[in-house]
């Protein structure tokens, strides 16, 4: 059971969360992550992007990712939402490699956007610092945002995607949110 910090009286904010998985039953990890978010008090599921198969960016020898983006409306503060996301990652067996950056992972949840806020804390940077340059984020993100602008650069996400060099290798996955889970 996932728990989160208490909700507050704050105005709900639309938050955008990136999902990535390239280890184990990837579809189950994405499905369980979405369910865990949606059932948390103070988090209302709004919509999900398509699910995409993407070549891994990072060390060689790891398998392809499934990537997607989910939008929620939440009364949780951004740090509380991050703690919830880290808890959900742990529940899906996420183990962080001590040395190697960008190693394979069961479930990675990144906070892409929290309303239009810019946050620069030691443990939380929003917008996510690499979102504007990565097709594996921008392709699913553009399924759920229409004409919205990056809070720092002011560029539309569609225009950022048009410049992403690796966008043509991102393809819709055979499994999408809402489909029955494949047999493992
Ligand atoms: N943190 C700070 N800001 C944020 C934020 N906006 N969202 C801190 C989430 N976390 C944030 O994250 C390390 C710490 O970042 C967290 O504890 C939190 O306090 P992590 O999940 O342990 O590490 P990571 O995800 O490996 O690091 P990093 O550098 O954020 O990785 P990226 O940039 O997210 O890249 N290739 C494909 N095809 N698809 C992918 O999804 N993902 C990565 C990870 C690499 N290659 C990939 C993919
Ligand atoms: Mg992460």
Tens-digit pLDDT profile for residues 2-15: 444 445 567 999 99
Q: Quick one: pLDDT at residue 59?
A: 86
Nearest CA to ligand 1 atom 34: 110
- Please tell me the CATH code under which domain 13-129 is placed: 3.30.70.560
Is pTM beyond 0.75? Reply is yes
130 a catalytic residue: no
Is-catalytic flag, 123? no
Residues in Cβ contact with 121 at an 8 Å cutoff, skipping those fewer than 6 apart? 79
| Greatest distance between any 2 Cα atoms in the chain | 47
Dist CA 44 CA 99 (whole Å):
36
Any idea where the domains of the chain sit in the sequence? 13-129
E strand intervals along 27-77: 43-48, 52-54, 65-74
- Model confidence at 124, in pLDDT bands (50, 70, 90)? very high
| Distance from C-alpha of 47 to C-alpha of 103, rounded to nearest angstrom | 28
- DSSP classification of residue 118: -
pLDDT of residue 5: 47
Give me the pLDDT at residue 177, please: 97
The two structure tokens encoding residue 163:
């410049």
179 classed as catalytic: no
What size, in residues, is the chain?
Answer: 184
**Beta-carbon neighbours within 5 Å of ion ligand 2:** 108, 110
Closest CA to 36 of 89, 103, 99, 95: 89
Q: Give ligand 1 pocket residues (Cβ under 6 A).
A: 20, 54-58, 65, 67, 82, 96, 102, 108, 110-111, 123-126, 128, 130, 136
| Annotated catalytic residue within 34, 71, 92, 105 | 105
List the residue whose alpha carbon is closest to atom 17 of ligand 1.
123
Residue 7 pLDDT: 52
Report the pLDDT value the prediction gives residue 10, as an integer from 0 to 100. 78
């Amino acid at each position: 059971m996932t728990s989160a910090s208490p909700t507050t009286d704050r105005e709900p904010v639309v938050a955008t969360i990136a999902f990535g998985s390239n280890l184990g039953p990837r579809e189950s990890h994405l499905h369980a992550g979405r369910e865990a978010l949606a059932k948390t008090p103070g988090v209302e599921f709004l919509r999900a992007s398509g699910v995409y198969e993407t070549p891994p960016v990072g060390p060689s020898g790891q398998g392809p990712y499934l990537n997607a983006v989910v939008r929620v409306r939440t009364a949780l503060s951004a740090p509380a939402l991050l703690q919830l996301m880290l808890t959900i990652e742990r529940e899906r067996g996420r183990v962080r490699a001590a040395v190697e950056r960008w190693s394979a992972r069961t479930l990675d949840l990144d906070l892409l956007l929290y309303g239009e806020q810019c946050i620069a804390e030691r443990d939380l940077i929003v917008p996510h610092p690499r979102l504007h340059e990565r097709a594996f984020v921008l392709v699913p993100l553009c399924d759920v945002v229409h004409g919205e602008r990056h809070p720092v650069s002011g560029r539309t996400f569609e225009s950022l995607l048009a410049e992403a060099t690796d966008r043509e290798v991102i393809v819709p996955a055979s499994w999408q949110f809402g489909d029955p889970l494949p047999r493992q």
